[in-house]
Amino acid sequence: MCGRLVVVDSAEIARELQLLYEASPFESQCNVKPTNRVPFVRQPGKLEVARWDLVPAWWKKSLKEKPIAFNARIETVTTKPFFRHLVGKKRCLVVNSGFYEWKKGDGKAKRIAR
């Protein structure tokens, strides 16, 4: 599971994947965290930008109190209530140049590429 994304030149990614990109190009970032805006493909051939998280359909509390989820383990995605209603129905491709986790050690945070 990744905790951070790297997005470099979304306009170039859109050109390479032959995607329609109506919004202004996404700014390159090397430390994109969950809840930040990311480029993604929801409809074939169209690159969009949206917040990177998930609010399950059954969540009834305020959006300020919402649980933050942004990825799932393949082993449990069909059994966890948080994700199972989305499998096969609502998918998107998060467009990125790489991903990594932060690992704490020796009092410092280190970036671990995945």
- The answer, yes or no, to whether residue 62 has pLDDT greater than 60, is yes
Task: Give percent helix, percent strand, percent coil of the chain, each to the nearest 5.
Answer: 10, 35, 55
The CATH number linked to 31 is: 3.90.1680.10
Average pLDDT, the chain: 78
pTM of the model: 0.69
Element (H, E) at 29: strand 29-32
More confident position, 78 or 72: 78
Q: How many domains does the chain have?
A: 1
Q: What domain range is 90 assigned to?
A: 4-113
Checking if the pLDDT of 107 tops 80, the result is no
Phi, psi of 27 (to 5 degrees): -70, 135
How many CB atoms are closer than 10 A to CB 41? 17
The whole-number pLDDT of residue 28 equals 82
The pLDDT, as a whole number, for residue 20 is 81
Dist CA 6 CA 39 (whole Å): 11
Model pLDDT for residues 3-59, shown as the tens digit of each residue: 888 888 777 777 888 888 766 667 788 888 888 888 888 888 888 888 888 777 777
Query: Token pair for residue 50?
Result: 């949206």
**Rounded CA separation 101/5 (Å):** 9
- Digit-coded pLDDT (tens) for 5-20: 888 877 777 788 888 8
> What's the pLDDT at 114?
54
Measured distance CA(6)–CA(17) in Å, rounded = 17
The residue with tokens 């930040």 is: 36
